[in-house]
Structure 1
Amino acid sequence: MPVTIHCLADVCLIPIGTGSASVSDEVTAITKLAQDSPLETTLHSAGTTIEGPWNEVMDLIGQFHQHLHDKHGVVRIQSDIRVGTRTDKKQCPQDKIDVVQQKLKNL
């Protein structure tokens, strides 16, 4: 049975052994995949936030890995993934930021 719970995932892919300290080519490639997907994605300085059903989010992360292996020749990739779910309400990344910003104004 597919897992359809809504989630927010922060993912950071780390290509290993590319011969360069820069990973901007790899980040650009997976950002293009993210933007072309039907899921909501947000690039930030330390990775990408993906919003959507659990299985679709995890599938997209797998596509990132597959693309870098197949199209960019990256032999090894390590990913850091943090996933959050909640069932009481739907929340997008900006909602979470807005709550903190509002609380800062009240300090």
Structure 2
Amino acid sequence: MTDLYAVADFCLIPIGTAEPSVAVYIAECQRVLEKSGLKYKMHGYGTNIEGPWTSVSNAIHACHAAVHAMGAPRVATDIRIGTRVDREVAPGTGNEGKVRRVEEILGKDAAPGA
């Protein structure tokens, strides 16, 4: 069986750090994701990432390792992962496709005579 293509959203939370801001840890995680070669996009409360399931999982693992290496004694992560096998998802278009589809529906609401 081939690796499933995964579209994921995760929120990594360093615990037990001296500062209330976690920005330096999240910045390090973004550096890790950049090196992964996967498509990703940070947002206010997490990051969307997509690619082969194993690669996505490995990238999140690498983020944990990097944040621990910075001194965070604990790291918690919330993850949502979606896959589909009913149609082909072109690599790097999973999250964009989801957003575009909803925007198309909303665009019909704004169209004259809708």
Structure 1: state its 5+ residue gaps.
none
SS in 2 for 1:88: coil
Moved more, 88-97 or 19-28: 88-97
Match for residue 25 of structure 1? 24
TM-score, normalization: structure 2? 0.87
Where does structure 2 lack aligned partners over 5 or more consecutive residues? 110-114
Of structures 1 and 2, the larger Rg is shown by 2
Identity of aligned residues (%): 36
Number of residue pairs matched? Answer: 105
Give the root-mean-square deviation of aligned CA atoms. Answer: 1.3
- How many angstroms apart in 2 are the aligned matches of 1:32 and 1:12? 15
The within-5 A match list for 1:27-66 is 27-66=26-65
1:98 is aligned with what amino acid? Answer: R
Tell me the distance in 1 between the aligned counterparts of 2:68 and 2:16. Answer: 12
> Residue 80 of structure 1 corresponds to which residue in structure 2?
78
Q: In structure 2, how many angstroms separate the alpha carbons of the residues matched to 1:88 and 1:97?
A: 18
When normalised by structure 1's length, the TM-score is 0.92
Q: Distance in 1 between matches of 2:86 and 2:45?
A: 28
